[in-house]
């Protein structure tokens, strides 16, 4: 029988649930139970004490997570949960500000209080990530990757950015992963809107577009990082942390484009082979001067001008002044 059916039939106040059970992982089961029966308190009873297990259970809706060995050793004896003929939790880790121990006058065992405080601290220091990606497969993969990485939590994932301002206001993310091409509104348009209202939120573009226009429009719009979708998973996680800590991570090819945009264009080997005099003459021709005026300006004869131009043609491997000037101006 499915867990939801059992809960519907028995109508418990509190559920004690293991994480590993035959045919069902307790955390997905917990998620389904809490979606249908949000009023039921679920106490995870397990041997797993790693951060991922504990935090995943809390995020799924658990309101407690004592270790089996502590229950067996008397750290949280069963009789301390029984109040008014019903079992109630006294071991809280998730809803710290709504402790039932106050309601029923039950005191937490010292170990419980320590663990609750420890998990609360971890939850408050986790990086909150919001995803905008119209490809459902990739969106799901990013969710699994981020949720499975220590120190991160997904606060939302959407296939478009049409309601991006309201969603960001409601979900309070630290970092947003933003695609560019999405239905209704592009990621670049969304970034510009967020920059106006939520400048403190970091936006990391994750896209297939590597053209200059997309890169520079996104960065000028307010994005603080730019990754291509072919980026390995470990590097995506590293980039989220970097941008959260004030960095500007970019895929190597994107970083090169950005750097080159600040550098003067390099001369071709052919242009570099011209002498100073040949450059001067080419510059005069670029101003629209005739051979006669070039000769007058350079204080040489027209024949000498023609000789220099012939050498320029040979070095640039061109056959006309127009072709020579095209290379000069490039």
- pLDDT at 12 (0 to 100): 75
- pLDDT at 115 (0 to 100): 42
- pLDDT at 45 (0 to 100): 67
- Does one domain contain both 200 and 292? no
- Does one domain contain both 112 and 206? no
- Does one domain contain both 239 and 311? no
The H or E element that residue 29 is part of is helix 26-36
- pLDDT at 232 (0 to 100): 94
- pLDDT at 22 (0 to 100): 67
CA distances from 259 to 127, 215, 268, 269 (A): 29, 12, 19, 22
The pTM of this model reads: 0.50
Residues 6 or more apart whose CB falls under 8 angstroms from that of 140 comprise 157
- Does one domain contain both 89 and 133? no
- Does one domain contain both 141 and 236? yes
Q: Which of 261, 279, 309 is the last residue of a domain?
A: 261
CA angle 61, 156, 159 (to 5 degrees): 135
Q: What range defines the domain where residue 175 resides?
A: 129-261
- pLDDT at 164 (0 to 100): 96
* CATH code, domain with 54: 3.40.50
Q: Which of 261, 292, 311 is the last residue of a domain?
A: 261
- Does one domain contain both 133 and 96? no
- pLDDT at 72 (0 to 100): 34
CA distances from 269 to 93, 131, 256, 273, 283 (A): 68, 47, 22, 6, 18
- Does one domain contain both 114 and 134? no
- pLDDT at 23 (0 to 100): 63
**Neighbouring C-beta atoms of residue 115, cutoff 10 Å:** 22
- pLDDT at 266 (0 to 100): 64
- Does one domain contain both 145 and 248? yes
CA distance 74 to 81: 12
Number of separate domains in the chain: 3
Residues 6 or more apart whose CB falls under 8 angstroms from that of 163 comprise none
Task: Select from 143, 153, 141 the least CA-distant residue to 58.
Answer: 153
Cβ atoms of residues 108 and 116 within 8 Å: yes
CA angle 255, 213, 174 (to 5 degrees): 60
Residue 206 exposed, middle or buried by CB count within 10 Å (0-12, 13-18, 19+): buried
Q: Which of 109, 124, 139 is the last residue of a domain?
A: 124
- Does one domain contain both 51 and 141? no
* Six token digits for residue 210: 């590597």
Give the length of the chain: 330
Q: Would you give per-residue pLDDT tens digits along the chain (330 residues)?
A: 467 777 787 777 777 777 777 666 677 777 888 878 877 777 776 666 666 676 677 777 766 544 443 333 333 333 233 333 333 333 333 332 233 334 333 333 333 333 444 444 555 578 999 999 999 999 999 999 998 898 899 999 999 999 999 999 999 999 999 999 999 999 999 999 999 899 899 999 999 998 888 999 999 999 999 999 999 999 999 999 999 999 999 999 899 888 877 766 666 778 888 898 998 998 888 888 889 999 998 899 999 999 999 999 988 888 888 888 887 776
Cβ atoms of residues 30 and 44 within 8 Å: yes
CA distance 132 to 177: 6
* CATH code, domain with 275: 1.10.10.10
Cβ atoms of residues 16 and 7 within 8 Å: no
């Amino acid at each position: 029988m499915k867990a939801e059916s059992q809960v519907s039939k028995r109508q418990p106040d509190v559920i004690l649930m293991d994480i590993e059970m035959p045919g069902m992982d307790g955390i997905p089961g917990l998620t389904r139970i809490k979606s249908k029966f949000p009023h039921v308190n679920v106490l995870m009873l397990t041997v797993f004490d790693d951060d991922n297990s504990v935090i995943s259970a809390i995020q799924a809706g658990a309101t407690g997570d004592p270790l089996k060995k502590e229950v067996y050793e008397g750290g949280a004896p069963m009789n301390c949960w029984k109040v008014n003929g019903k079992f109630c939790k006294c071991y809280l880790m998730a809803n710290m500000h709504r402790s039932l121990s106050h309601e029923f006058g039950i005191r937490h065992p010292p170990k419980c209080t320590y663990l609750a405080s420890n998990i609360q601290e971890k939850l408050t220091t986790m990086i909150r990530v919001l995803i905008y990606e119209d490809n459902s497969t990739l969106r799901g993969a990013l969710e699994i990757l981020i949720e499975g990485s220590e120190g991160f939590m997904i606060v939302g994932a959407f296939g478009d950015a049409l309601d991006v301002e309201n969603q960001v206001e409601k979900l309070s993310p630290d970092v947003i992963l933003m695609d560019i091409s999405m239905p209704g509104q592009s990621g670049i348009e969304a970034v510009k809107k967020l920059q106006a209202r939520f400048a403190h939120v970091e936006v990391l573009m994750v896209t297939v577009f590597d053209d200059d226009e997309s890169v520079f429009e996104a960065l000028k719009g307010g994005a603080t990082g730019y990754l291509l979708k072919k980026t390995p998973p470990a590097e995506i996680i590293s980039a989220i942390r970097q941008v959260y800590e004030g960095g500007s991570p970019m895929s190597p090819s994107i970083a090169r484009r950005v750097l080159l945009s600040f550098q003067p264009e390099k001369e071709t080997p052919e242009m570099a082979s011209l002498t100073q005099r040949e450059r001067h003459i080419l510059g005069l021709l670029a101003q629209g001067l005739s051979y006669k005026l070039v000769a007058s300006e350079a204080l040489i004869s027209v024949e000498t001008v023609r000789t220099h131009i012939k050498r320029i043609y040979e070095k640039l491997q061109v056959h006309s002044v127009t072709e020579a000037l095209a290379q000069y101006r490039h």
